[in-house]
């Protein structure tokens, strides 16, 4: 199993070549703000400006969707995801769905050496 997964929004990884396309993968999460958070956000919306409760909610949701995308890629044997995109939608009036999706691939160094990445 792959330890690290490179994730890029481009359709290539610089210095690497795609040796295998596994296919489209995604990570999805649905989040809802609690009643207290919705009330605070509603009050803030009256004054206008940034609603920090929702910024945090959506930021956390994107991170969670990315974690699920990365886990899915690892399970399929990919060491990279190219062409990363996000999509979001509302479910009802209280929930947000965030989807991170892209193409799972296997890449190797252009020199032919297997790809080795250290994120530490």
CATH number assigned to the domain comprising residue 78: 3.30.110.70
**pLDDT for residue 120:** 45
Domain membership of residue 69 (yes or no) is: yes
Domain membership of residue 77 (yes or no) is: yes
List per-residue pLDDT tens for the chain, 120 residues long.
556 999 999 999 999 999 999 999 999 999 876 655 556 656 656 666 777 777 888 889 999 999 999 999 999 999 999 999 999 888 877 788 899 999 999 999 987 555 555 554
Domain membership of residue 28 (yes or no) is: yes
Question: How many domains does the structure of the chain reveal?
Answer: 1
Strands 80-91 and 95-109: antiparallel
Which structural domain range is residue 19 located in?
6-109
Write down the pTM of the prediction. 0.76
- Of residues 14, 25, 38, the one with CA closest to residue 109: 14
* H or E element in which residue 17 lies: strand 16-32
- Of residues 8, 39, 2, the one with CA closest to residue 116: 2
Strands 6-7 and 80-91: parallel
Residue 6 C-alpha from the chain's centroid: 12
């Amino acid at each position: 199993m792959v330890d690290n997964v490179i994730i890029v929004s481009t359709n290539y990884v610089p210095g690497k070549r795609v040796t295998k396309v596994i296919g489209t993968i995604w990570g999805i999460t649905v989040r809802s703000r609690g009643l207290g958070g919705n009330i605070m956000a509603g009050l803030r919306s009256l004054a206008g400006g940034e609603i920090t409760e929702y910024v945090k909610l959506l930021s956390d949701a994107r991170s969670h969707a990315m974690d699920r995308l990365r886990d899915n890629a690892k399970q399929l044997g990919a060491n990279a995801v190219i062409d990363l995109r996000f999509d979001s939608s509302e479910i009802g009036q209280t929930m947000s769905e965030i989807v991170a999706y892209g193409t799972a691939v296997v890449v190797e160094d252009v020199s032919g050496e297997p790809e080795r990445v250290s994120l530490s």
